[in-house]
């Protein structure tokens, strides 16, 4: 029973504004072992070795392609394991190719084995059962014509034998899966937590103390986690588990929809209408609904609709959908059940419909770009930013120059606001299956439109002009761009208020043209910005009234703005930033009742479908460098 309660509380945290990723996973090793980074002063090298840390990888490493380049380390311990760095992905060939060399391992001057990094997981055992006293480990890289390269991250030693657990990890949409987080625990206590997997082969390996079995959790943001158990780990033998296969998280999988969808969300107030186009084939439309879930609370509405027969073609169908007047605000999945013909099933578009209480007159955007989200560790960072965006209560999130859409769609799947994403010069090709064309626009009520453009401006701008002309009556026009150097005439003619970008030279905050258009650009990949409007113009886009600085947030930093929950109805709101956040939002899921709050004010209460739970949203001003206790009081 305790296990069930714990899992429910974890699910509640994951979906109610404080993700587990608020607290970054440390590189945890068994208490009986000692970790030594490859950059430790005790490690010596011969030959040409390059210090490398591939695009915000979870750790630094040394890299060589030189034949006979070697690395030596004197250590004391009964056993030693070597941890390889991740294989560089094909999206970034400029930073070095994957490691295809051969590695000779010497212990105390004696050759003990050869390793091929391209075949390995991230770890292997170099020696076990060594006699007491000091020892020397030597790694020698051997090149074979054009097959070369090895990346070393560090060493794990212990005064007891260690064993190696190995298993392959494959996945739905395998081509997008780079690495994963492997969490090993025993009796509820984490023993190891690390990034793993060789994306070339899918092979994973992790060194563990022998004599025990462990619980194993494999996490990849955008995929469903997998929980399994290990055998009792034995030294010197093959410790294997069956292959692990990860299915995509349904919150990221779009099926049979043209629109609305990601980058083309329908943003409406309750009682309004929107258009949906989907692949209904020759089936009957049985039911149209929206649905979202937070913790154990489900919120859904069955939606009345009317089909526009004149817009149907072959497998495409188009309907006009009405939102009931009592629809609670939130980000919903859109589902359409079709029955009969040859295509019975459910058409599904996750996070496609955003219901808001009112359209913002002075919108507030959370923006960032070029975060290099190519794998699990980087996606965990993005997930923490998304959580802070929920707390800040931004109206929309703008992301520019993204990389791997499979991880990005997962990291942003718990946003409580609409978001717009584009992909630039480091993209993993195929992002259109999630985020659609490189040009599109999203309307946010009668006064605001966001044009999304993921191409450089030397491309033909006629399609951009045509897209902006559709929205010429909107008072506030925003461009979320790959680069900022749009033709000034375009910005002036359409009176563009903001262009957000993440790539290119020049001042990151500057006025452009006669409108004027405010450029807000990416300063670095360890920050984000909060862009605020007033009377149709940007009035704030920097940190703590600094002339240019973004809001700082380090990759290994605990979220400075976070919610720590002591129960489902009580929490502490912590703000370690030197900046106040006005009209921030804290979400609770509690038993169905009327509530007041000890801090801020209750903004809204939504009742779950089964009438047992309530989603209570409290809005408050979070002062800089503050810690605020907040509790719901049942009336």
β-strands 239-240, 396-402 pairing: unpaired
Minimum mean pLDDT among 92-96, 160-164, 413-417: which range? Answer: 92-96
Cα–Cα dist 634/625, whole Å: 29
Which pLDDT tens digit goes with each residue over 315-345? 999 999 999 999 999 999 999 999 998 789 9
Per CATH, the number for 561-634 is: 2.60.40.1180
pLDDT value of position 14: 40
pLDDT at 155 over 90: yes
- Rounded CA separation 79/81 (Å): 7
208's tokens: 């563990």
If you average pLDDT over every residue of the chain, what do you get?
93
Distance CA(303)–CA(307), nearest Å, equals 13
Neighbours of 165 (CB within 10 A): 23
Distances from the Cα of 241 to the Cα of 118, 205, 228, angstroms: 21, 11, 9
The predicted structure's pLDDT at residue 601: 97
* pLDDT exceeds cutoff 90 at 436: yes
Query: Which whole-number Å values give the CA distances from 77 to 27, 233, 469, 617, in the listed order?
Result: 21, 19, 70, 54
pLDDT above 60: residue 131:
yes
Q: What percent of the chain has pLDDT over 70?
A: 95
Q: How many CB atoms are located within 10 Å of the residue 40 CB?
A: 11
What torsion, rounded to 10 degrees, do the Cα atoms 485, 508, 90, 46 define?
Answer: 140
Q: What is the mean pLDDT of residues 277-295?
A: 96
Res. 5: pLDDT tops 50: no
Least confident residue range of 50-59, 380-389, 416-425, 607-616: 50-59
pLDDT of 17 higher than 50 = no
Rounded Cα gap, residues 391 and 378, in angstroms: 21
Looking at the DSSP assignment, which residues form a beta bridge with residue 155?
36, 82
**Residue 19 pLDDT more than 80?**
no
The pLDDT, as a whole number, for residue 22 is 58
Pairwise CA distance, residues 326 & 348, whole Å: 22
The pLDDT of residue 273 is above 50 = yes
Nearest to 404 by CA among 85, 178, 169: 178
**Which of 423, 499, 409 is closest to 455 using CA atoms?**
423
Sorting pLDDT into bands at 50, 70 and 90, what band is 16? very low
What fold, for 250-356?
Immunoglobulin-like (2.60.40)
The CATH number of 31-246 is: 2.60.120.260
Can you give the pTM of this predicted structure? 0.94
CATH of 364-552, one of 2.60.40.1510, 3.30.70.20, 3.60.21.10, 3.40.50.1700: 3.60.21.10
Residue 535 has φ and ψ, to the nearest 5°, of 55, 40
Percent of the chain past pLDDT 90, that is, above it, reads 89
Task: Look at residues 273, 284, 208, 201 and name the one whose alpha carbon lies nearest to residue 240.
Answer: 208
CA dist 543 and 117 (Å) reads 44
Give the range among 41-45, 56-60, 212-216, 499-503 with minimum mean pLDDT: 56-60
CB atoms within 10 A of CB 463: 14
* 558 Cβ contact list (under 8 Å, min separation 6): 22, 23, 24
Residue 425: predicted pLDDT: 87
Structure confidence at residue 23 (pLDDT): 56
Of 406, 471, 457, 448, the closest CA to residue 262 belongs to 406
Least confident of 35-39, 145-149, 295-299, 614-618: 145-149
| pLDDT tens track for 70-118 | 999 999 999 999 999 988 776 665 556 788 999 999 999 999 999 999 9
Is 31-246's fold the same as 364-552's?
no
| pLDDT greater than 80 at residue 580 | yes
Please report which confidence band the pLDDT of residue 2 belongs to, taking 50, 70 and 90 as the band edges: very low
Task: Check: CB of residue 338 under 8 Å from CB of residue 347.
Answer: yes
Query: What is the model's pLDDT at position 93?
Result: 53
Distance CA 196, CA 218 (A): 10
List 510's β-bridge partners, or say none. 519
What is residue 399's predicted lDDT score, i.e. its pLDDT? 98
pLDDT of residue 25: 59
23-32, 208-217, 358-367, 414-423: least confident range: 23-32
What stretch of H or E contains 130? Answer: none
Q: Is the pLDDT of residue 15 over 60?
A: no
DSSP 264: B
First vs last C-alpha separation in the chain: 30
Q: Which backbone phi and psi does 93 adopt, to 5 degrees?
A: -65, -20
The DSSP annotation for 283-316 comes to SEEEEEEEEEEETTEEEEEE--EEE-GGG-BTTE
Q: How confident is the model over 469-491, as a mean pLDDT?
A: 97
What's the confidence (pLDDT) of residue 10? 39
b/e map of 354-364 (b: 16 or more CB within 10 Å)?
bbbeebbeebb
Note the pLDDT tens digit of each residue in 583-608.
Answer: 999 999 999 999 999 999 999 999 99
Computed on alpha carbons and rounded to an integer, the radius of gyration of the chain in Å comes to 26
The number of beta carbons lying within 10 Å of the beta carbon of residue 346 is 13
pLDDT tens for 613-626 read: 999 999 999 999 99
State the maximum Cα–Cα separation within the chain, in Å, rounded to a whole number: 84
Q: With 90 as the cut, is the pLDDT of residue 139 above it?
A: yes
| CB within 8 Å of 429: residues ≥ 6 apart | none
Q: State how far the Cα of 584 lies from the Cα of 448, in Å rounded to an integer.
A: 21
Which residues in 116-251 belong to E strands, given as ranges? 123-127, 134-142, 150-158, 162-171, 180-186, 189-196, 203-209, 215-219, 226-229, 239-240, 244-246
pLDDT at 18 over 90: no
Every domain of the chain and the residues it spans? 31-246, 250-356, 364-552, 561-634
Q: What's the pLDDT band for 146 if we cut at 50, 70, 90?
A: confident
User: Minimal CA–CA distance to 125: which of 162, 78, 74, 86?
Assistant: 162
């Amino acid at each position: 029973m305790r296990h069930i309660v714990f899992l429910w509380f974890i699910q509640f945290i994951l979906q109610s504004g404080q993700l587990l990723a608020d607290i970054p996973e440390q590189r945890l090793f068994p208490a009986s072992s000692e970790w030594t980074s490859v950059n430790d002063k005790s490690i010596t090298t011969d030959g040409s070795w390059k210090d490398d840390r591939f695009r915000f990888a979870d750790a630094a490493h040394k890299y060589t392609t030189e034949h006979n380049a070697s690395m030596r380390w004197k250590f004391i311990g009964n056993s030693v394991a070597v941890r390889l760095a991740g294989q560089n992905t094909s999206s970034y060939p400029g930073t070095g190719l994957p490691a295809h060399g051969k590695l000779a391992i010497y212990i105390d001057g004696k050759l003990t084995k050869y390793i091929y990094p391209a075949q390995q997981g991230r770890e292997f055992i170099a020696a076990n059962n060594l006699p007491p006293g000091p020892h020397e480990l030597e790694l020698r890289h051997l090149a074979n014509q054009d097959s070369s390269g090895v990346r070393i991250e560090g060493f794990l030693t212990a005064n007891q034998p260690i064993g190696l657990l190995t298993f392959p990890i494959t996945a739905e949409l395998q081509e997008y899966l780079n690495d994963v987080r492997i969490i090993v625990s025993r009796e509820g206590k984490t023993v190891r937590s690390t990034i793993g997997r060789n994306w070339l082969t899918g092979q994973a390996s992790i060194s563990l103390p022998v004599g025990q079995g462990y619980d194993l959790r494999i996490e990849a943001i955008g995929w469903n986690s997998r929980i399994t158990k290990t055998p009792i780990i034995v030294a010197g033998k093959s410790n294997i588990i069956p292959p692990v296969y990860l299915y995509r998280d349904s919150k990221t999988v779009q099926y049979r929809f043209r629109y609305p969808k990601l980058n083309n969300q329908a943003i409406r107030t309750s009682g309004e209408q929107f258009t949906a186009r989907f692949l209904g084939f020759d089936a009957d439309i049985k039911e149209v609904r929206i649905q979202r879930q937070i913790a154990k609370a489900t919120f859904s509405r069955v939606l009345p609709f009317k089909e526009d027969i004149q817009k149907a073609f072959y497998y495409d169908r188009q309907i006009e959908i009405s939102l009931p007047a009592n629809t609670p605000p939130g980000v919903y999945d859109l589902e359409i059940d079709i029955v009969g013909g040859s295509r019975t099933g459910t058409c599904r578009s996750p996070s496609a419909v955003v219901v808001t209480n009112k359209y913002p007159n002075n919108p507030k955007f959370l923006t960032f770009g070029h975060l290099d989200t190519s794998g699990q560790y980087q996606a965990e960072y993005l997930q923490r930013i998304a959580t802070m965006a929920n707390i800040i209560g931004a109206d929309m999130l703008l992301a520019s120059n993204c990389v791997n859409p499979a991880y990005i769609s997962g990291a942003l799947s718990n946003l409580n606001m609409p978001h717009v994403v584009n992909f630039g010069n480091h993209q993993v090709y195929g992002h259109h299956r999630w985020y659609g064309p490189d040009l599109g626009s999203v309307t946010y009520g009668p006064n605001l439109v966001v044009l999304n453009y993921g191409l450089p401006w030397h491309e033909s701008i006629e399609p951009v002009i045509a897209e902006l002309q559709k929205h010429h009556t909107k008072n506030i026009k925003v461009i979320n761009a790959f680069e900022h150097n749009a033709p000034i005439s375009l910005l002036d003619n359409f009176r563009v208020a903001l262009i957000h970008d993440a790539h290119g030279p020049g001042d990151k905050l500057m006025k452009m043209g006669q409108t004027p258009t405010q450029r807000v650009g990416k300063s670095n990949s360890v920050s984000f910005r909060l862009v605020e409007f007033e009377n149709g113009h940007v009035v704030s886009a920097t940190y703590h009234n600094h002339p240019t600085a973004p809001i700082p947030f380090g990759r290994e930093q605990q979220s400075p703005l976070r919610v720590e929950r002591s129960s489902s109805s009580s929490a502490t709101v912590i703000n370690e930033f030197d900046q106040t956040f006005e009209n921030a939002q804290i979400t609770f899921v509690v038993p169905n009742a009327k509530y007041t709050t000890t801090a801020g004010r209750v903004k809204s209460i939504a009742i779950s479908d089964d009438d047992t739970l309530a989603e209570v949203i409290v809005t408050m001003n979070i002062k800089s460098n503050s810690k605020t206790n907040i509790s719901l009081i049942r009336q």
